[in-house]
Amino acid sequence: MINIISLISVVGVAVGTMALVIVLSAFNGLNQFLDQQYSSFDPDLKILPAKGKTFVPDARFEQIRNREQVAFFAEVLEENALLKYGNRQRPAIVKGVDENFTLMTGIDTLMMDGNFVLDTPKHQFVVLGYGVALDLGVGLTFVDPIKFYVPKRNAKLGHNPMNAFNTEVLYPSGFFQVQIDFDMQYTLVPIDFARKLFNYENEVSAIELGINDNVDVEDVKDELQQILGDEYQVKNRFELHDVVYKMMKTEKAVVFLILAFILLIASFNIIGSLTMLILDKKEDVGTLRSLGANQKTIKQLFLIEGCLISFSGAIIGLVLGLTICLLQIKFGIVKLAAGNFMMNAYPVSIHFTDIFIIFITVVLIGFFASRFPVQYITKRYLQFS
């Protein structure tokens, strides 16, 4: 019976450890997938004005453009506008970009339909997020243009309210699908068109930078912040979406604590098995004492027994958890609903830092679970001179 209870203890620790490995790896996969999606639209670094919505780049930005660490330098202008197509209309974020934006993000490879064409020698076009296109009912084979309506700055209402709006039109060239937050909000237009629509000359709302792969982004961020001073904010991709990333980290930490607590409850089996083992081995303890074993040695024997249970469960759980994660990465066993995501299977990413933390956590829980019966049960039921 003691062996059966010990085996149950090992299984309980193994299942808890396996669950920790799988769940944390799944969170890592989601985080990695989210980062990949944002990197298709967001730059490595983004320079924003500390006050106001727009600014005119000065000589400092030319220095930044010419830095060796900077691979791409893109000027962008973002504002809200009302889009109308046929009888449908909806607000959207109009983002004016130049040719460097395409090279920096690679968004032209994420087109759902059509081609990523914004500016040609004769015509200009708009590329819409897939969600925006669906809401407006835009078709690439239709002949109607998309109309943009933006309130004029410092305009006064007269007899005709439409005189207070800037109105421009563009034909769509394609639809992109990156991530739902972008697909439902953004439309991309040439930056010259955006300046004309919003009544700007040389202003930009941000400078987006692509950093070379062999350079630390955080070091470049700190250097640029020193060059620009307090007038501007230099943000990395994490800071642009800090709420989402912080939420993911918080959820991961909470799930880890919940599973660790479940593992702690499962470790009560270790307490039970060690308690029964100590009571069962009274005669053997007497024999050991006759052979010269002292109180410390006997306690260490029972403590090692408990640690072996948790250690065995931890190793088995890690092996099973890693095996399941590797199978998911290789074969995509757990599928996602078709058409809802830009991936077919649930994303998983193994971080060996997490594996180390899980192993240490399990071993420590097992150690303290073993220490209780060794310290108190031996003292109460085993008589030492």
Out of 59-63, 277-281, 330-334, 361-365, which region has the weakest mean confidence (pLDDT)?
A: 277-281
* Three-state secondary-structure class, residue 342: coil
Which of 267, 285, 272, 270 is CA-nearest to residue 378?
285
* pLDDT tens-place string over residues 212-226: 989 999 999 999 999
* pLDDT tens-place string over residues 225-260: 999 999 999 999 999 988 888 998 999 999 999 999
DSSP state of 164: G
- In sequence order, which residues have a C-beta less than 8 Å from that of residue 64 and are 6 or more positions away? 47, 70, 73, 207, 209, 224, 227
Residue 170: Cβ-neighbour burial (10 angstroms; 0-12, 13-18, 19+): buried
- In sequence order, which residues have a C-beta less than 8 Å from that of residue 91 and are 6 or more positions away? 80, 81, 82, 83
Question: Quick one: 274 and 362 in the same domain?
Answer: yes
Question: Quick one: 133 and 207 in the same domain?
Answer: yes
Domain endpoint, select from 240, 271, 300: 240
Question: Quick one: 34 and 54 in the same domain?
Answer: no
* Three-state secondary-structure class, residue 23: helix
Tell me how many domains the chain contains.
2
Question: Quick one: 77 and 217 in the same domain?
Answer: yes
Question: Quick one: 251 and 120 in the same domain?
Answer: no
Question: Quick one: 52 and 168 in the same domain?
Answer: yes
Question: Quick one: 235 and 252 in the same domain?
Answer: no
Q: What pLDDT shows up at residue 33?
A: 87
- C-alpha distance from residue 15 to each of 21, 27, 172, 267, 271 (Å): 10, 18, 54, 11, 18
Please check the confidence at residue 181 and state whether its pLDDT lies above 70.
yes
Question: Quick one: 293 and 318 in the same domain?
Answer: yes
Domain endpoint, select from 222, 240, 258: 240
Question: Quick one: 285 and 142 in the same domain?
Answer: no
- Percentage of residues in the chain having pLDDT higher than 90: 61
Domain endpoint, select from 212, 240, 268: 240
Question: Quick one: 248 and 236 in the same domain?
Answer: no
Question: Quick one: 127 and 267 in the same domain?
Answer: no
* Three-state secondary-structure class, residue 48: strand
The whole domain housing 207 covers 45-240
Question: Quick one: 284 and 174 in the same domain?
Answer: no
Is the pTM higher than 0.75? yes
